Amino acid sequence: MPQEYHQNAETGGNEIQVPQRLPKPNFFNFLALVSAVEEINNSSELLPNITLGFHIYDPKNQPFLTFMTALGIFSGMATGIPNYRCKSSAILAAVIEGLPSELSIQLSNVFRIYHYPQLHRYLKKVHFKNVVGEEMFFDENGNLPTGYDIKNLVFLPNGTVNHNMIGHYNSHAPPGQDFIIHEKEIVWESSNTQTPPQSKCSTSCPPGSRKLTSRENPVCCYDCIPCPDGEISNQTDMDNCIECPDDQWSNENRDACIPKVMDFLTSEESLGIAFISMTVSFTFITAVILGIFIHYRDTPIVKANNRDLSYLLLISLMLCFLCSLVFIGHPEDVTCVVRQSAFGITFSISLSSILAKTVTVVIAFQTTKPGSRFRKWMGSRVSNSIVIFCSLVQTLICAVWLGIAPPFLYRNMHSETGTILVECNEGSIVAFYCVLGFLGFLAGISFIVAFLARNLPDSFNEAKYITFSMLVFCSVWISFIPTYLSTKGKYMVAVEIFAIQASSTGLLGCIFIPKCYIILFKPERNTRKHLTKL
C-alpha cells in the first residue's frame, strides 16, 4: 500500500484529506471511504454539482511526521510550507483522522490555526433518504440524528432466538413521540409477564429502612440499613429516616411512630401490690399494738416512760406507713407536693417522740438521786415541748421548700428508650436533703442519748431498745441515699417506699414488740413489784 493515495476532482471539486496509517487491518476502512466517495459523486441527490476527491496520508505513527503531514495537507506539497498553498484546483472540505490521541493533538493544533472542523459547511445542507427510506441530515450542531430500534431477544426452547421489534427511539421526533415502546409485546425471562424485573443493581429498601449510597458505586447501587431507634421510614427507598416526636417512639418494624410507654409505680403491678399489702399489714399491726397499749394502759410497763408519748409514737408510725401510699400510682402535681412533706413531718413526729422518751428515761433516773435538781423537769411538759419544737422545725423547712421551689410533675422522655418516666421532680434538691438531714439529726441525738442511758437500771431498760431501733433506722437511711441516687423512675420511688417501711418497722419492732410480748405472754412480769425488784 503506498504511503499516499490521491483521488482529486479537478473541476469544481472538493477535497477530503485522510491522515490515516494503512496497515492491513485498516485496509477495509480505506475501501469503505473510496466506495462512499464514489457513491456520493455518482449520485445527483446527495451533493449535487459537487465532486469529491481525497488524499490519504500515512504518518507512520510518529508525532513529527504527523505534524508535517498536517502542514502538507494545507500547503499541498510534500514539504509543508506554513501559510502557503501550492494547489488551487480543489477546496479542502474536511479532514478525517483516526489516529491515537497523542497524534490527534498534533493535527488539532494545526487545524485550529486554519479554522477547519471535521465537517464542512456544505454537509450541513445534506438531507436525503437512504436505501431503507430513513431520512439522513445534520442538525444545527453538525450531528447526525440519533435513532434506535428497540428489540426483544426471545430465546425459544428449540435453541433459536427471535428478535422482536417492540419500539424505537428518535431524538428529533416531537415530544411524546421520541420514545415509543409496546409493553404488551415484551417477553420477560421469568414466567411473570405483569411485573418487569428491576432495572437496578439493588433491591428496593422497604419501609423501616433507608438507602445507604457510596461514592464508589453508581447512584442506583446502594445498601439498605434499618432506621435507628426513634426514627422511621414509611415509604420505599427513602434516603433518610424521620425522627419521631419526643412523646413517641418507633415501632418494632421502624415504619410508624407509636406513643411511648408511660412508666410509673402502679397499684396493679406486682411491686405496687406488694408495697400496698405491706402498708396495710403494718398499719393494722400498729393499730393492734395501739389497742393493746390502750387496753393495758394502767399496767406498769405501759405507764413507764410516758404512755402518752407511746400513743403518739404509735399513731405517727401508722401515718408513716400510710404516707407510702401517696408514692404509688400516677404522679400528679398535688401528690408530688404532698408526699415528701407528709413523709418528712410524720417521721419528725416519730423521732421527736423517741427523743422525748429517751430524755424522759434520763430525767427519771436522775430524779431518783437525793437532792436532784431534775425533779422540776419531771412531767409531760418537757417531753411535749421536745415533740412540738422538733415537729415545728421540720414543718418550717417543708413550708420554705414548698414556697420557694416545690416539687412538680415531670415527664422524663430521654432517660429510657421508648419510655416516658412519669415522676416527681423534687424542685429543690437542697430542701429535700435538708428534710432528710433534720431527720438524721433527730435520729443521731436520740441514738447518742439512748446509748449513754443504756446501762441505767432495768426498770428503765427502754433505752436499750431505743438504741437498737436508732441503729436500724440510721442504717436504713444511710444505705438509702446512694441507692436512691443510682436509680430512676419507678425504682427510685420503690427505694424510698422501702426505706420508709423498713425504718418504720424497725422502730415499731424494737420498741413495742418486747413490751407486747410481756403484756400478752408474761403478765407476771408486768407488775410494779417485779419492776422494783429489777
Q: Which residue, 199, 225, 259, sits at the end of a domain?
A: 259
Domain that holds residue 231: 209-259
Both 482 and 417 in a single domain?
Answer: yes
Average pLDDT over residues 491-498: 90
Q: What band does 39 get if pLDDT is binned at 50, 70 and 90? A: confident
Q: How many domains does the chain have?
A: 4
**Is the pLDDT assigned to residue 375 strictly greater than 70?**
no
Angstrom distance (rounded) from CA 15 to CA 407: 100
Q: What band does 462 get if pLDDT is binned at 50, 70 and 90? A: confident
For residue 4, the model assigns a pLDDT of: 42
For residue 78, the model assigns a pLDDT of: 57
Condensed to tens digits (0 to 9), the pLDDT of residues 334-360 reads 899 899 899 999 999 999 999 888 887
Condensed to tens digits (0 to 9), the pLDDT of residues 68-101 reads 777 777 666 655 566 655 655 566 767 776 666 6
- Does any domain span residue 528? yes
Count Cβ neighbours within 10 Å for each residue of 374-391 and write b for 16 or more, e otherwise.
eeebeeeebbeebbeebb
For residue 142, the model assigns a pLDDT of: 59
Q: What percent of the chain has pLDDT over 90?
A: 21
What is the residue-averaged pLDDT of the chain?
A: 79
Average pLDDT over residues 401-405: 91
Q: What band does 286 get if pLDDT is binned at 50, 70 and 90? A: very high
Both 218 and 275 in a single domain?
Answer: no
Average pLDDT over residues 408-419: 85
**Is the pLDDT assigned to residue 440 strictly greater than 70?**
yes
Average pLDDT over residues 159-167: 85
- Does any domain span residue 407? yes
For residue 345, the model assigns a pLDDT of: 94
Both 251 and 106 in a single domain?
Answer: no
Distance of CA 468 to CAs 94, 438, 471, Å?
116, 20, 5
Angstrom distance (rounded) from CA 326 to CA 488: 18
Instruction: Find where cell 411485573 sits.
Output: 195
Both 56 and 94 in a single domain?
Answer: yes
- Does any domain span residue 75? yes
- Does any domain span residue 328? yes
For residue 118, the model assigns a pLDDT of: 75
Angstrom distance (rounded) from CA 43 to CA 51: 10
Q: What band does 49 get if pLDDT is binned at 50, 70 and 90? A: confident
For residue 21, the model assigns a pLDDT of: 44
Instruction: Find where cell 441527490 sits.
Output: 45
- Does any domain span residue 265? no
Helix/strand/coil for 268? coil
For residue 486, the model assigns a pLDDT of: 85
Both 131 and 151 in a single domain?
Answer: no
Measured at the alpha carbon of residue 26, what is the angle toward residues 24 and 29, in degrees to the nearest 5? 135
- CATH number, residue 395: 1.20.1070.10
Kindly report the number of other CB atoms within 10 A of residue 40's CB atom. 15
Q: Which residue, 137, 167, 193, sits at the end of a domain?
A: 137
- Does any domain span residue 511? yes
For the ranges 1-5, 79-83, 476-480, 495-499, which has the lowest average pLDDT?
1-5
For residue 302, the model assigns a pLDDT of: 84
Q: What percent of the chain has pLDDT over 70?
A: 72
Q: What band does 66 get if pLDDT is binned at 50, 70 and 90? A: confident
Q: What band does 13 get if pLDDT is binned at 50, 70 and 90? A: very low
Element (H, E) at 165: strand 161-170
Angstrom distance (rounded) from CA 355 to CA 383: 8
The model carries a pTM of 0.60
Both 167 and 27 in a single domain?
Answer: no
- Does any domain span residue 223? yes
**Is the pLDDT assigned to residue 497 strictly greater than 60?**
yes
Both 355 and 383 in a single domain?
Answer: yes
Both 45 and 151 in a single domain?
Answer: no
Both 381 and 295 in a single domain?
Answer: yes
For residue 68, the model assigns a pLDDT of: 73
Both 121 and 237 in a single domain?
Answer: no
Kindly report the number of other CB atoms within 10 A of residue 442's CB atom. 23
Average pLDDT over residues 278-299: 92
Both 24 and 60 in a single domain?
Answer: yes
Instruction: Find where cell 413495742 sits.
Output: 512
Condensed to tens digits (0 to 9), the pLDDT of residues 125-157 reads 667 666 666 666 666 665 666 677 888 888 888
Q: What band does 159 get if pLDDT is binned at 50, 70 and 90? A: confident
Label the pairing between strands 13-19 and 51-57.
parallel
Condensed to tens digits (0 to 9), the pLDDT of residues 194-204 reads 555 555 677 88
Both 457 and 498 in a single domain?
Answer: yes
- Does any domain span residue 201? no
**Is the pLDDT assigned to residue 48 strictly greater than 90?**
no
